[in-house]
Amino acid sequence: MDVPLSPLGRDQATAAASTVAGLVDRSTPVFSSDQDRALQTAAPIAAALASTIHPDPRLREQDLGRMEGLTPDQLTPEPIPEGVDIADVRWAGGESLADVAARSRSFLADLAVSENGHAPDQAVIVGHGDALRVLIALLDGRSHRECDFNLVLGNGDVITRTWPGGSA
């Protein structure tokens, strides 16, 4: 997962920084997964906002266990265990969406008190596809079982949400 951004990825991060700078106030805190690609994406955003990056491992992508790095044609279908929701299965020894949701809830709880005991008015969050889908579901009042996997999250895309403590 710690592969550096390509030249295209750096261009996408720069474009995202420009977009974000037009949406939030200067000095808005930037929270990022601590994985290299997210940090490299967060850097131009933080620079554009004259802010700092707050790396947080709770924003990492879902750990896919033994499936990490495999292409779809290298995967072997497995049945869903009886009586278990697919979002609660830890495939290949990795994390379930429930696990991702637990760390996302923890992050949001800490974010809600990160500015001297209350939520910042605005925050920028830089992360990864499925982990962000879980976070978005939670911000929208849904559970990890109700993630919108049809939501296209391209590299460098900017999506806004409002939450009880402000906007994220």
Q: What is the pLDDT of residue 114?
A: 87
pLDDT tens-digit series, residues 21-63? 999 999 999 999 999 999 999 999 999 999 999 999 999 999 9
Please give the structure tokens belonging to residue 111: 């974010």
pLDDT tens-digit series, residues 87-97? 999 999 999 99
Is 36 inside any structural domain? yes
Q: What is the pLDDT of residue 75?
A: 94
What percent of the chain has a predicted confidence (pLDDT) above 90? 87
Is 91 inside any structural domain? yes
The DSSP bridge partners found for residue 30 are: 53, 124
Given pLDDT bands bounded at 50, 70 and 90, which one contains residue 119?
A: confident
Given pLDDT bands bounded at 50, 70 and 90, which one contains residue 2?
A: confident
Is 73 inside any structural domain? no
144-154 per-residue burial string, b: 16 or more CB within 10 A, e: under 16: beebeeeeeee
Is 131 inside any structural domain? yes
Is 70 inside any structural domain? no
CA-to-CA separations, 151 to 68, 87, 125, 147, 154, in angstroms, rounded: 22, 17, 17, 9, 9
Using the predicted structure, report yes or no on whether residue 141 has a pLDDT greater than 90.
Answer: yes
Under the phi-then-psi rule, with left for phi > 0, alpha for psi from -120 to 50, and beta for the rest, what region is 103? alpha
Using the predicted structure, report yes or no on whether residue 133 has a pLDDT greater than 80.
Answer: yes
Single pTM value for the model:
0.92
Is 21 inside any structural domain? yes
Contact 36, 57 (CB under 8 A): no
What percent of the chain has a predicted confidence (pLDDT) above 70? 96
d(CA 81, CA 94): 15
Greatest Cα-to-Cα distance within the chain, rounded to the nearest angstrom: 51
Domain that holds residue 144: 7-64+83-167
The DSSP bridge partners found for residue 166 are: 163
Using the predicted structure, report yes or no on whether residue 82 has a pLDDT greater than 60.
Answer: yes
d(CA 110, CA 165): 11
Please give the structure tokens belonging to residue 7: 């030249």
- Rounded to the nearest integer, the mean pLDDT of the chain is 93
Closest CA to 53 of 41, 43, 62: 43
Is 97 inside any structural domain? yes
Here the CATH number for the domain that contains residue 159 is 3.40.50.1240
Given pLDDT bands bounded at 50, 70 and 90, which one contains residue 162?
A: confident
Residues 6+ apart with CB under 8 A from 80: 86, 89
Edge to edge, the sheet with strand 124-126 lists: 53-55, 30-32, 124-126
Is 34 inside any structural domain? yes
Question: What is the torsional sign of CA 32, 34, 38, 41?
Answer: positive
How many domains are contained in the chain?
Answer: 1
Given pLDDT bands bounded at 50, 70 and 90, which one contains residue 116?
A: confident
